[in-house]
């Protein structure tokens, strides 16, 4: 039996939406001394359970996931927040003499974790709320035009609808007096641990059917009511990252009478599938990754355990 405790390694379990990552990660806890950390920008939100395919309460009781249910849907959570939080959780798990297994499909979070992030000021919640308030009372592009005046390089790289990144760029400038595009040139905090990386890549037809069936199951579970509760809170809108999550955005558009119910379903499924293809495209550019093309859970487990065993032996 391997002695897992002498070496600090972190396991990544990545893959597109609806590829079965979460289920596989929970089963792997029966074979490995691992603790799970969610790497999903949608699972951080409270009261957004059905549409994000969040693990059930029973699953979370038996297989706790860190970095789930962190913030209210009305708040913002940056990639720097994630990196700060995940590093804390990784250290806690090592102190338990266990292995951190990061599971989720937010590829940008993994990328920043591996390749480092610029040293930027911590988020100022009060300032962020003010900027978010201005974005709701002014016209749609007010903050975006303001950014073009103070940091044109960031302005060119950020989509006008990406309110979270717009606010972050403005926040950095207002706190430091320096452009975020300038500060981001100095990359620090490269990931200090060795990793064993896996990516589940199902066949396109299998993935599409999973996405389609999963969305209809969400509707059966009460997804419409879940979004309706958020809709009638009165303080949320489609500019927020939480409501821009696939499924929530389309349901929101349905409530606004912008699209029909059938269009909402079609757009949700199509958008999810298109997003999954982008996730796969990104993963195929990565180095040092073990691709898993099987869909049988038992075969996947055997392959993962074998790879972990042999790769682990060569780590110093």
Would you list the DSSP string of 78-116? -HHHHHHHHHHHHHHHHHTT-EEEEE-S-HHHHHHHHH-
In a shared domain, residues 181 and 198:
no
The pLDDT score that the predictor gives to residue 2 is 47
Domain co-membership, 233 together with 306: yes
Total of domains in the chain: 2
Grade residue 316 by pLDDT with cuts at 50, 70 and 90: low
Give the residue numbers spanning the domain of 131: 125-185
Whether 168 and 263 map to the same domain: the answer is no
Residue 16 counted as an annotated binding residue: yes
The CATH number linked to 291 is 3.40.50.300
pLDDT at 44: 98
**194 and 78, same structural domain?**
yes
Instruction: Check the annotation: does 18 bind a ligand.
Output: yes
Same domain, 89 and 141: no
Average pLDDT over residues 184-198: 84
193 shares a domain with 179: no
pLDDT of residue 111: 92
Same domain, 305 and 177: no
**What is the structure's pLDDT at 185?**
75
Last residue of a domain, one of 141, 160, 185: 185
Where residue 121 falls among pLDDT bands split at 50, 70, 90?
confident
Establish whether 41 is an annotated binding residue. Answer: no
Percent of the chain with pLDDT over 90: 69
What does the alpha-carbon distance between residue 43 and residue 41 come to, in Å, rounded to a whole number?
A: 6
19 is in an annotated binding site: yes
Q: Is 17 annotated as a binding residue?
A: yes
Query: Chain-wide mean pLDDT for the chain?
Result: 91
Instruction: Using the predicted structure, report yes or no on whether residue 87 has a pLDDT greater than 60.
Output: yes
- Residue 179 annotated as part of some ligand binding site: no
- Whether residues 222 and 77 fall in one domain: yes
Q: Are residues 89 and 143 in the same domain?
A: no
Domain identity same for 255 and 130: no
pTM for the full model? 0.82
Q: What is the mean pLDDT of residues 59-85?
A: 95
Maximum mean pLDDT: which of 122-136, 145-159, 269-283:
269-283
Q: So what's the pLDDT on residue 190?
A: 78
- Same domain for 214 and 100, yes or no, is yes
């Amino acid at each position: 039996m391997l002695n897992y405790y002498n070496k600090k390694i972190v396991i990544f379990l990545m893959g597109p939406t609806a590829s079965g990552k979460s289920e596989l990660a929970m089963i792997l806890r029966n074979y490995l001394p691992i603790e799970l950390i969610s790497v999903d920008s949608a699972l951080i939100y409270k009261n957004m359970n059905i549409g994000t395919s969040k693990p059930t309460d029973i699953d979370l009781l038996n297989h706790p996931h860190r970095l789930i249910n962190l913030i209210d849907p009305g708040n913002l959570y940056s990639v720097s927040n994630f990196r700060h939080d995940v590093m804390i959780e990784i250290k806690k798990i090592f102190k338990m003499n266990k292995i951190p297994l990061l599971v989720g499909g937010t590829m940008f979070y993994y990328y920043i974790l591996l390749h480092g992030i610029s040293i930027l000021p911590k988020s100022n919640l009060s300032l962020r709320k003010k900027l978010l308030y201005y974005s709701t009372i002014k016209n749609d592009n007010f903050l975006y035009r303001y950014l073009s005046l103070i940091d044109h390089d960031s302005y060119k790289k950020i989509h006008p609808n990406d309110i979270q990144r717009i606010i972050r760029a403005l926040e950095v400038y207002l706190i430091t007096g320096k452009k975020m595009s300038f500060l981001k040139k100095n990359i620090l905090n490269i990931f200090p641990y060795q990793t064993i990386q896996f990516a589940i890549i199902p066949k396109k037809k299998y993935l599409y059917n999973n996405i389609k069936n999963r969305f209809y199951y969400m509707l059966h579970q009460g997804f419409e009511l879940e979004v309706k509760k958020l809709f009638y809170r009165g303080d949320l809108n489609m500019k927020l990252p939480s409501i821009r999550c696939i499924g929530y955005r389309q349901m929101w558009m349905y409530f606004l009478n912008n699209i029909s119910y059938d269009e909402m379903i079609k757009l949700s499924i199509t958008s999810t599938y298109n997003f999954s293809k982008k996730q796969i495209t990104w993963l195929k550019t990565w180095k040092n990754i073990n691709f898993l093309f099987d869909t049988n859970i038992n075969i996947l487990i055997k392959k993962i355990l074998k790879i972990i065993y042999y790769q682990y032996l060569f780590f110093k």
